[in-house]
Amino acid sequence: MFSLQTIFGKGDKFYGLLEQSAATVCESAKALHELLSKPGQGSVMAAFTATRAREKALAGQISEGLVNTFVTALDREDIAALNSALYKIPKTIEKFAERYEIVSDRLAGVNFAQRALILERSSEVVEEMIGELRRGLRIDPVKKLQDRLQALESEGDRMLLDPYRTLYVEGGDAMRAMLAKDLFELIEKAIDKCRDVGNIVYSIVLKNS
């Protein structure tokens, strides 16, 4: 007679792949914060591109595994949803880095680093939440992590008020304001994607509690 551990062990490779994917998200967010905290380092796109390539490869492995694995530790649609949400975070960060490299000289003095720090912290919470999946889907620690994500998102929203006020009300360069707004919104989008991952993890835990 097969035990449940034997059966579900065939699908637990997804835990490891999702954890690697979350670690890549953290790496990408940390690199962005460092870029914005220490400007003038020259072109850094190679690092973002390499990180994104790893994330893309992991996403492909997860998608292929869903096709080839008969039994999975989590519902297939939940794994697929997490895979998609995680994949979008480094993709958005790379897009920010591409645009920032082009227009950074025009945006001297605009502080993106504070928002990038919120993104980095959000990515760290995401990594913790993904790690909770293999620890038994415990609702209390996941709820606390979800609350932290929500608080970080709210803090990031509040941080936008001062730079927007400076750019739109006190500034006289409309193009500079639009370029900055575009980049701020990309960081906000990446933070929102972290929240999406948290929502998916939380829903998985609720469903299985």
**Mean of pLDDT values over 108-130:** 94
* DSSP at 73: S
* DSSP at 80: H
Question: Tokens 């993890």 appear where?
Answer: 201
Chain mean pLDDT for the chain: 86
Question: Tokens 């400007």 appear where?
Answer: 39
**Mean of pLDDT values over 147-152:** 94
d(Cα 139, Cα 53) in Å, to the nearest integer? 33
- The CATH architecture of the domain made up of 4-208 is Up-down Bundle (1.20)
d(Cα 117, Cα 37) in Å, to the nearest integer? 9
d(Cα 143, Cα 199) in Å, to the nearest integer? 10
Residue 183 has pLDDT above 90, yes or no: yes
Q: What is the pLDDT of residues 44-91, one digit of tens each?
A: 677 788 888 889 899 999 999 888 887 788 899 999 999 999 999 999
d(Cα 183, Cα 155) in Å, to the nearest integer? 18
